[in-house]
Structure 1
């Protein structure tokens, strides 16, 4: 894959639109909810920040991925949850408020964790003359682009709540379209290269995605966290911000390595199908449970 001028120019716009949509759905209460419900938030963050990178590292090593692809998969693991997780959590009867809180908090924490994890991955997987350190200052520039739209969206939500409420659904649709268009652009430029990598990277990305969804659901359940919150954590951990990972990989001022964008691009396609299947599976007994409760009442 090569980063075309169109894709390089389009990525900041796509990120801005997606993060603005996220900001329209956030309030300060979403951050304060960490204090009110610390256990599910801490469990979700621990799975996201500690467990997933370790699992991803094992998968990258186990599949013997080429160095750039391994770093790309680790970059994806380091990315915070995507806004699409909120929609899938809602459809699966999860705790969407918890999703919003996890996305908000993890997006801030990722400012520190992403450069650290990516730099460690570059040191481990790539030769010293191949590694291009992901400097903290450069990542801060990207997250300024990311966080400013979030802040703008939160201000709109604060001072024009009616407008924000009306725009929330259209913005989610626009964000989904921008995500899809970004993936198409990333794949279309060098389709043959993607086809070459797809068999190995696709299986590795699929395995990582399925394990992410499973860990996100079963670890909270084993810790006696209610099912609705476990569904939310599963969706949050299983659906990463692929656009952000692609942007970091392709940006000429950052990693500037299009091969590193391949895992995120393929993962972003796979996750829609796996998340839908996971949502159907965990919500199978929801209607029956509601009917039983109504009968008991």
Structure 2
């Protein structure tokens, strides 16, 4: 399973190339973007139990710091980049959506490989995911609401369906029958990878006609967004004197977004072009996260 997960960037690049050369193969799957993301969220839920959420009582200050950095830094960094790079409106909306999204599930795997605090990573992902029901529409409206109509109420309802419902179902299934599922639970990470890869392919195919003009500014914004998120997510806790293991974990959690959610919301409420930053972020943050995990794993656990 870890080997398949490690090859995710390769699969994402391959399907992106396929989407550019043969877009007609993937465009008909546009309808499947939201259901596929629901599969990913259910898979996340199956790995969780109610105790993962109650864990916030043990380290409330650290959890609050991680979640605050997630929703304060990433939308702000995204918005600043859209201004500095003078991105077209659809791309600007997409970058802000990525910034307003909660932490991505891949952050838990990257944290494990980086010898971080996996329990903290899972708790941060869970908390930001639940808060995203309100925070993602609100932050999107705050940053781009003056430029484009942001249907915050409709987005809130969509996130309830895309995130809260499938995650809750996954937690319910794991709580009641987790012990009986056995090896079946190990299939969900693979299903999640397949779902995200298909989502990336569909978005690239939808944007294929204008990809030559959009690719460079989007890639620049995505790379800077992710790297600035990782850096600030480490520097701020470090400046506050927190343990290096916690700093690693928060950095990964802040820098790695649930870009699949950003893609689904962009397609549903804005445009295919607005979904492109999220699709490219899915590829890039796994590459940068894997590189960072490799570096930290070689340096060992700090004392």
Equivalent residue of 1:85, what SS?
Answer: helix
Q: Paired residues, what number?
A: 281
**Partner residue of 1:241 out of 231, 255, 258:** 258
CA offset at residue 97 of structure 1? 1.0
Contact 1:156–1:164 at 8 Å: present in 2 too? Answer: no
**Partner residue of 2:229 out of 182, 207, 212:** 212
TM value normalised by structure 2: 0.86
Question: Which residue of structure 2 lines up, in the alignment, with residue 97 of structure 1?
Answer: 119
Question: Which residue of structure 2 lines up, in the alignment, with residue 259 of structure 1?
Answer: 273
Structure 1: distance between partners of 2:224 and 2:252? 15
Question: Which residue of structure 2 lines up, in the alignment, with residue 160 of structure 1?
Answer: 177
CA offset at residue 93 of structure 1? 0.9
Larger-gyration structure (1/2):
1
Q: Structure 1 residue 273 and structure 2 residue 287: aligned?
A: yes
CA deviation map 1:100-147 (0-9, x unaligned): 1111111111111111121233334x2xxxx23223144313422322
Contact 2:110–2:290 at 8 Å: present in 1 too? Answer: yes
Q: Structure 1 residue 10 and structure 2 residue 3: aligned?
A: no
Contact 2:30–2:202 at 8 Å: present in 1 too? Answer: no
Structure 1: distance between partners of 2:114 and 2:185? 19
Equivalent residue of 1:160, what SS?
Answer: helix
Q: CA RMSD in A?
A: 2.2
TM value normalised by structure 1: 0.88
Change (3 A) 1:221 1:138: closer
Moved over 4 A (4+): 1-5
Q: Structure 1 residue 182 and structure 2 residue 196: aligned?
A: no
Structure 2: distance between partners of 1:209 and 1:286? 23
Q: Structure 1 residue 136 and structure 2 residue 158: aligned?
A: no
Structure 2: distance between partners of 1:95 and 1:138? 32
